[in-house]
Copies of this chain bind each other. A is one copy, B any other.
Amino acid sequence: MRIGELSRRTGVSVPTIKYYVREGLLPAGELTSPNQASYGETHERRLRLVRALLDVGGLSVAGIREILEAIEDRDRPVHKMLGTAADRVVPRYSEEAGEGVAEARATVAELVDRRGWHTYDDSPAAEALAVALAALTEIGHADFAEVLDAYAGAAEQVAGADLQYVARNVEREELVESVVVGTVLGDAVFAALRRLAHVDASRKVFGMGE
């Protein structure tokens, strides 16, 4: 199809599509004449993925480019590749670690140990968790660590469901795409569900006087 048709199908404007091609988020169309390119279903699917990561996932153009590079890097075994793709969608904290983070890292290490989770050194997820826990402690919510195990149990359930979902997609490229999609959009899904469940739980606890 021509770029105009791709634009109509996806609701993304032609200049934006061209911008994504220039930024490396979308492969260029196949040239059918010196100034006309043809786009296929792969382009359409990729374009929808990019939009979902931008709009719902809240990722940056640079972040998406890194993820797409991980999808296309065929030199790594599947397990490592999935880890790389997942690591790239973890928010990075640029700040130099405050004093509280060192303590929080120990809390995280204990938790990982207690749950019997396999992890690896310099896991960005472990670091992100330590930063969040340190921030909670700084604002007087150190006790939040007491609910960590409830969170961890729920995270295991969600991760199990994610993997079951991902394991259906046998193609390597689809597999990574599923992990990325599941990680980024799964966060959005879970956050929304958690808020819905809050409303229900809060009504039960505080709603008596309504």
Give chain A's interface residues, CB within 8 Å of chain B: 11, 45, 48-49, 51-52, 55-56, 58, 77-80, 82-83, 86-87, 90-91, 93, 95, 98, 112, 115, 117-120, 123-126, 128-129, 131-133, 135-136, 138-141, 143-144, 146-148, 150-165, 167-168, 178-179, 181-183, 185-207, 209-210
Q: Out of B11, B93, B124, B151, which one reaches A98, CB within 8 Å?
A: B11
In the bound assembly, the distance between CA atoms of A168 and B195 in angstroms comes to: 19
Q: Smallest CB–CB gap between A100 and chain B, Å?
A: 11
- Chain B, Cβ-Cβ closest to A189: B132
Residues of B within 8 A of A115 (CB): 200
> What separation, in Å, do the CA atoms of A190 and B191 have in the docked complex?
9
Q: How many angstroms between the C-alpha atoms of A144 and B131 in the bound complex?
A: 30
* B132:A185 contact, CB within 8 angstroms: yes
The minimal Cβ–Cβ distance linking A50 to chain B, given in whole angstroms, is: 9
Partner of A167, one of B83, B123, B205: B205
Known: A138-B52, A161-B151. A168 touches B143 (CB 8 A): yes
Cβ contact within 8 Å between A125 and B182? no
Question: In the bound complex, how far is the Cα of B141 from the Cα of A168, in angstroms?
Answer: 11
CA distance A180 to B157 in the complex (A): 25
B11-A163 in contact (CB<8A)? no
The answer to whether B188 and A155 touch across the interface, beta carbons within 8 angstroms, is: no
Q: A139-B45, A161-B147, A163-B202 are in contact. Are A186 and B194 (CB under 8 A)?
A: yes
CA distance A115 to B204 in the complex (A): 15
Interchain CB contact (< 8 A) of A77 among B140, B162, B188, B210: B210
- With A and B bound together, what is the CA distance between A202 and B85 in angstroms? 12
30 residue pairs bridging A and B, Cβ less than 8 Å apart: A52-B138, A55-B95, A56-B131, A78-B206, A79-B207, A82-B202, A82-B206, A91-B191, A112-B196, A117-B199, A118-B203, A119-B196, A123-B199, A132-B192, A143-B165, A143-B168, A144-B182, A144-B189, A147-B162, A150-B160, A151-B189, A155-B190, A155-B194, A156-B201, A159-B194, A163-B202, A163-B205, A183-B198, A186-B194, A190-B191
